[in-house]
Structure 1
Amino acid sequence: MLSVISRVVDLAMAVFGALLAAALAAGEFVWLDDVERTLLGFSCVLSIMTFPALGIYQSWRGKPVYDLLLRATFAWLLVESAGVLLTFSIHRADSLSRGWLAYWAACTVGLLIVSKARAQTTLTWRRREGFTPKTVAIIGSAPYATFLIEQMRGRPDAGFSPVCVFDPAFGPAASHAAMEGDALLGVRIERDFGLLAEHVRERGVRELWLALPISQEPTIHRIVTEFRDDFVNVRFIPDVRSLSFFGHAVVDLLGVPAINLAASPITDVKVLPKRVFDRVFAACVLIAMAPLLAAIAIGVKLSSPGPVFFRQRRKGIDGREFRIYKFRSMRVHHEAAGQITQAQRGDRRVTKIGAFLRRTSLDELPQFINVLKGEMSVVGPRPHALEHDDIYKDLVKGYMHRYRIKPGITGWAQVNGFRGETDRIEKMSGRVKLDLYYMQHWTFGLDMKIVAMTLWKGFAGANAY
């Protein structure tokens, strides 16, 4: 029912957007002409096919709303573009007002965003208040069942309510830290499969989650067979948390569902805002700070003989190497092959202006050139020298997973105090842990938070020397 209402609302927004665009273009309320009405009708029909194909009408329970808004925006721009191409094919494009098309795109996108954001906010509030809960029965081991219960209770806006847990391994003598009598975190435990089936049917349980190892195929088959005639959603949620550092996204691979065990967690259309922001922000910084960059370059050149820029090979996304740019902060010196000595407090190699640049992170500004070239991002894990990669990849768990995404000028680790020298394994482990947290919990909003924190406190620090 909600899907049908959503479709009707989307069509209404397209029609209202077209009328509003005509009024804005003409400066007064006017009706659409024949060509505009034809384009509107074609676009509405096309949207009926395009929007579902992009997953707009799927359940967004517990999913980020910004993903829905991005899909709706992309879908409408695609639909309107297809409509414009149609007018070209029938040689009626000259009858269309460019201003009306631009206004229509802006108005419809705005209306879609407002309507969908409003609808999702209302649904989220209702779920959080417990108006439309989806009752869930979990079949699985106590540790993983505990994890799923905590996830449901930690996200009340998703609207899932655990009511029963069944584990074939449970027995009269079974015990667990979270179990109290016949309850697991306050959720009823069933020890007999027949009683579980009866409970699911009597309570009208909507969701049955199979939190079982893939190896328990006979048990899975038995459960699916038992409930094949019941209107209950049976979902297989295998426990693979120990196999990777990231949340295990399910992707479509040649029409077959696949679980990413070791792959970039930041993919798909949701990364588009990050890419656009990187290029625009880098260009703005380089243009706005051009006088400062020139003054620093002169200062570096006068501080000691040598080039203005320090260039060094670093690993980028998926291990692809690139040359990183920094303002040179040390006197030119030579080290043994395969050896890189990090700057230390009171390092005599650092020039006076170099010390200032390193404390304030102004030596990092040329890296916006790397961002503009697409080799780095504004926000992401900091890249290290190749020699350090060779050392730490075997000492710090998850170290190389940082290179599953583009490295950044600043990152979650940097704004949380992990800057400068990593003279101990513990420091690098702490940095990597925060980098992996960022990758697992990435959102565009988190990027903006990190940028704001960097502007507020990240340019100078006691650990940068």
Structure 2
Amino acid sequence: MTDLSMARIDTAQKPKSAAAKQRQARLNEQAREIAERFSAASISPVLLTGSARLVDAVVVIGSGLAAYGTVFGGFRPFGWAYVAAIAIGLMLTLVFAHAADIYHVVAFRSARGQIGRALGAWTLVFAGFSVIGAFFDFGGIVQRNWLGYWFLFGAGGLVVAHGAMSLLVKHWAREGRLGRKAVIVGGGEPAAELIHSLESMPDNDVHICGVFDDRSDDRSPAVVAGYPKLGNIAELVEFGRLAHIDLLIVTLPVSAEGRVAQILKTLWVLPVDIRLAAHTDKLRFRPRAHSYLGAIPMVELAEKPIQNWDFVAKRTFDLIVGTLALILVSPVMIATAIAIKLDSPGPVFFRQKRYGFNNEVIDVYKFRSLRQEMADPDAKTVVTKNDPRVTRVGRFIRKTSIDELPQLFNVLKGELSLVGPRPHAVGAHTSERLWNEVVDGYFARHKVKPGVTGWAQINGWRGEVDTPEKLRKRVDYDLYYIENWSILFDILILLKTPFALAKTDNAY
């Protein structure tokens, strides 16, 4: 049981005061305390088990190579027999380890059990080699002492690897980072039934942080199955961001389409999975119309974009391509820095607070293009055509988007991606209205990391945003990108970016 169980409270706790019952835009003290307690990002079980398999593959292959170097006094060209033996050993190790439930998240919490199962699977691999050798004479195509060293090196590697992974998992469990942090949307008896069902599931990886419901306490009690009602649906958006919630489970009846749609309209801006529990509905679903959480039928309302191995692939792509891009453009950046220094007094770089992933505020780096005494870090005044604040060098680097190149440092830091919705300044506005007030669901574009370039930009929606229609177009393109993301899509956008930058009609 993780520390997330601390979110549960004693049903004998005193009822909330009248002031705490009021529907406020801000979280109440109890909700904020729980959210901050569990603000560390969750460790994905898919990534954890996948990484464990990858580590085992590295140990098997690495120990085989080390044994080869030990036996033959160095590395020389491999014979096909050794390659085949290592390949078969790798396949059998993963099969036997899977059969022994080594890659189950719960199994990682016992170091002794992990090491024992790993050594058992490894021993079975070599028992298999022995049986095969007893029935077939391969004429000594591989040295027996190589097999012996391979077994010893592999066993040592597996002990170290699985012991370390077990310690890591225990540490993450104490921090409440294992499994999926969930919030129940909607209270009353349906929510209580769902909570009891979840808690009775063997190897349950869903940890409930609390309940949110718009209804008053006479229809939705302050405590549901031991968990507190922390606020209303509007407050859930802030809670979800602070606590880095992974899963929202709506307990309203499937037939309450209007109410579900209204809730979804509020919550879809969060980068989480949203499921509608159908445990109280006596309906027969078609295949693919639902999924299961344990034995509980769920209707999928929204999915978290770019997660698990997709996230790893995108981050790896950003690091590799971002590093290469930084090396390639470094002469341009150096020349730009010198030009800025010679053109006007003040620093070379400019930092501006912008919205990042999950609506978190980040400092985005740019080359300074405005006069130092007229700098506008809060973006209170939009840069327009022939703006007197822009320097001579600034006008050129803004037209060509060279001023954006320092954002490659944000990419390497993990705050930005190469491709994604462009990050907007916190104070960005049109006609005296903040952009989240202009476009309904504006913050949904922050369900993924913002990017140095994006789908909206290569389609002509860059530069000045002086009308609500321009902003809506940007958001529409950003949401299309989020819903259709792939590595190939990112590559396509990057390849088209230089051609899009040649069109400078809206860039001032």
**1:95 corresponds to which letter in structure 2?**
Y
2:237 maps to what in 1? none
What is the CA-CA distance between 1:235 and the residue it aligns to?
A: 3.3
CA contact (8 A) 1:315 1:403 kept: yes
Secondary structure of the equivalent of 1:340? coil
Secondary structure of the equivalent of 1:452? helix
* Corresponding residue to 1:367 among 379, 403, 407: 407
CA contact (8 A) 1:303 1:352 kept: yes
Structure-2 separation of matches of 1:322 and 1:453: 27
Does residue 136 of structure 2 align to residue 96 of structure 1? no
Does residue 465 of structure 2 align to residue 435 of structure 1? no
1:340 maps to what in 2? 380
1:30 maps to what in 2? 81
The 5-angstrom pairing of residues 360-439 of structure 1 reads: 360-388=400-428, 391-439=434-482
Could you say if the C-alpha distance between residues 94 and 450 of structure 1 is closer, same or farther in structure 2, counting changes exceeding 3 Å?
farther
Does residue 336 of structure 2 align to residue 296 of structure 1? yes
What is the CA-CA distance between 1:358 and the residue it aligns to?
A: 0.9
What is the CA-CA distance between 1:402 and the residue it aligns to?
A: 0.9
What is the CA-CA distance between 1:385 and the residue it aligns to?
A: 1.1
CA contact (8 A) 1:263 1:404 kept: no
Structure-2 separation of matches of 1:96 and 1:385: 57
Structure-2 separation of matches of 1:457 and 1:430: 16
Could you say if the C-alpha distance between residues 333 and 355 of structure 1 is closer, same or farther in structure 2, counting changes exceeding 3 Å?
same
CA contact (8 A) 1:361 1:460 kept: no
CA contact (8 A) 1:396 1:428 kept: yes
Could you say if the C-alpha distance between residues 256 and 444 of structure 1 is closer, same or farther in structure 2, counting changes exceeding 3 Å?
farther
Could you say if the C-alpha distance between residues 52 and 299 of structure 1 is closer, same or farther in structure 2, counting changes exceeding 3 Å?
same
TM-score in terms of structure 2 length? 0.48
What is the CA-CA distance between 1:53 and the residue it aligns to?
A: 8.4
* Corresponding residue to 1:234 among 286, 295, 305: 286
Does residue 362 of structure 2 align to residue 307 of structure 1? no
**1:302 corresponds to which letter in structure 2?**
L
More relative contact order, 1 or 2 (CA 8 Å, 6+ apart)? 2
Does residue 327 of structure 2 align to residue 287 of structure 1? yes
What is the CA-CA distance between 1:337 and the residue it aligns to?
A: 9.9
CA contact (8 A) 1:39 1:83 kept: no
Could you say if the C-alpha distance between residues 369 and 36 of structure 1 is closer, same or farther in structure 2, counting changes exceeding 3 Å?
closer
Could you say if the C-alpha distance between residues 46 and 214 of structure 1 is closer, same or farther in structure 2, counting changes exceeding 3 Å?
farther
Secondary structure of the equivalent of 1:41? helix
Could you say if the C-alpha distance between residues 298 and 94 of structure 1 is closer, same or farther in structure 2, counting changes exceeding 3 Å?
farther
Structure-1 separation of matches of 2:120 and 2:394: 56
Does residue 94 of structure 2 align to residue 43 of structure 1? yes
Secondary structure of the equivalent of 1:393? helix
CA contact (8 A) 2:354 2:362 kept: yes
CA contact (8 A) 1:36 1:96 kept: no
Could you say if the C-alpha distance between residues 273 and 31 of structure 1 is closer, same or farther in structure 2, counting changes exceeding 3 Å?
closer
Could you say if the C-alpha distance between residues 86 and 236 of structure 1 is closer, same or farther in structure 2, counting changes exceeding 3 Å?
closer
Computed over aligned residues only, the root mean square deviation of the Cα atoms, in angstroms, reads: 4.5
Could you say if the C-alpha distance between residues 47 and 424 of structure 1 is closer, same or farther in structure 2, counting changes exceeding 3 Å?
same
Structure-2 separation of matches of 1:260 and 1:234: 13
CA contact (8 A) 2:279 2:297 kept: no
Structure-1 separation of matches of 2:279 and 2:95: 48
1:321 maps to what in 2? 361
Structure-2 separation of matches of 1:260 and 1:350: 49
Unaligned residue ranges in structure 2 (runs of 5+): 1-56, 66-74, 106-117, 127-144, 155-252, 258-277
Could you say if the C-alpha distance between residues 267 and 359 of structure 1 is closer, same or farther in structure 2, counting changes exceeding 3 Å?
same
What is the CA-CA distance between 1:287 and the residue it aligns to?
A: 2.1
Q: What are the Cα deviations for residues 78-101 of structure 1, in whole angstroms up to 9, with x where unaligned?
A: xxxx789948xx99998239xx9x
Secondary structure of the equivalent of 2:324? helix
Could you say if the C-alpha distance between residues 419 and 213 of structure 1 is closer, same or farther in structure 2, counting changes exceeding 3 Å?
same
Could you say if the C-alpha distance between residues 446 and 304 of structure 1 is closer, same or farther in structure 2, counting changes exceeding 3 Å?
same
**2:287 corresponds to which letter in structure 1?**
R
Between the aligned residues of both structures, percent identity stands at 36
Structure-2 separation of matches of 1:361 and 1:432: 20
Aligned residues: 285
**2:449 corresponds to which letter in structure 1?**
K
2:488 maps to what in 1? 445
